[in-house]
Amino acid sequence: MSIQGSRIHLRQLSKQFQQTPVLQQIDLDIQAGEFIAIVGRSGCGKSTLLRLLAGLEQSSSGLLSIDGKALGEVGQTRLMFQDDRLLPWKTVLDNVGLGLKGAWQDRARQVLAEVGLSEKAKAWPAQLSGGQRQRVALARALIHQPHLLLLDEPLGALDALTRLEMQSLIERIWQEHQFTVVLVTHDVPEAVQLADRVLVLEAGQVALDLPITLTRSRDMASPEAVQYSAQILQKILRPTSVTGLHQSRLAS
């Protein structure tokens, strides 16, 4: 049961809040079914980019198209927010089934089992740990079988072990369903492990667009993987002349 993933095209996409530019003239093409990871310093605009893709934010200028259509209906796109945003007054199961019609309970239980939370179906969100809440949020996004899944630091609150489990879970579900994934993460090895391409966002632009050509499932201890991680980290830690970007901006 594979889904056709979404194709995404950004052309000169810019976004500013009041006077502050956050994203500047981004050009980006994402293939159907591709797994993209975005890394970058805090506040560099990663969440903003995801929100633009989810249609929750309007671009200031430039073009954004998903499957050839300008954004409007977001039926096939699901965003997993940086904070879990579960409805505290609904049980875990009802949160997963939010917005679904018909007999969704069985499917919701199935998806909950996939994220390892079947026994929490009747619990209130307030009774869950931070990591458990995020897994419920993931289940809530997955149940819609989106063509484009946007993940905003979904594993940030997890312990190392659960994190590994969730990473392979996300990878497995992605391989199974072949949707397009854009994952924002702070964890560079995580990006290398999961993504077909890693983008480094910096000063509102794509500073590095690095295809990861390792075969899956990836061994993060392998020299190639370590090499990739080092290359990305270096880019983040030593920004390509922020001053250079500044000057080109001033010049234009």
Partner 1 sequence: MHNSSRTHWLQPLLPWLVPLLLIALWQWSVSSGWLSNRVLPAPSAVLKAGWELLSSGQLIHHLGVSFQRAALGFVIGGGLGLALGLITGLSRWGESLIDSSVQMIRNVPHLALIPLVIIWFGIDETAKVFLVALGTLFPIYLNTFHGIRQIDSGLREMAQSYGLTGWALFRDVILPGALPSILVGVRFALGFMWLTLIVAETISAREGIGYLAMDAREFLRTDVVVLAILLYALLGKLADVLVRLLERVWLRWHPAYVRSSS
Ligand X SMILES: Nc1ncnc2c1ncn2[C@@H]1O[C@H](COP(=O)(O)OP(=O)(O)OP(=O)(O)O)[C@@H](O)[C@H]1O
Q: Which residues make up the interface to ligand X (CB under 6 A)?
A: 17, 22, 40, 42-48, 82
User: Could you tell me the smallest distance in angstroms from the CB atom of residue 139 to partner 1?
Assistant: 13
Beta carbon of residue 227, minimum distance to partner 1 (angstroms, whole number): 38
Q: Looking at 54, 149, 188, 194, which residue binds partner 1 (CB under 8 A)?
A: 54
Given the rule CB under 5 A, which residues bind Mg ion?
47, 82
- Contacted by 48, from partner 1, Mg ion, ligand X, none: CB < 5 to 8 Å by type: ligand X
CB proximity list for 71: less than 8 A, separation 6 or greater: 53, 55, 64, 65
Nearer to ligand X, 6 or 47 (CB): 47
The answer to whether the CB of 154 falls within 8 A of the CB of 104 is no
Q: Between 42 and 252, name the residue whose CB sits nearer to Mg ion.
A: 42
- Out of 43, 72, 88, 102, which residue is the one contacting partner 1 (CB under 8 A)? 88
Instruction: Specify the length of the chain in residues.
Output: 252
**Closest to 231 in 3D by CA, of 245, 210, 215:** 210
Among 35, 81, 179, 228, binds partner 1 (CB under 8 A): 81
- Residues near partner 1, by CB under 8 A: 54-56, 74-75, 78-79, 81, 83, 85, 87-91, 98-99, 124-126, 140, 144
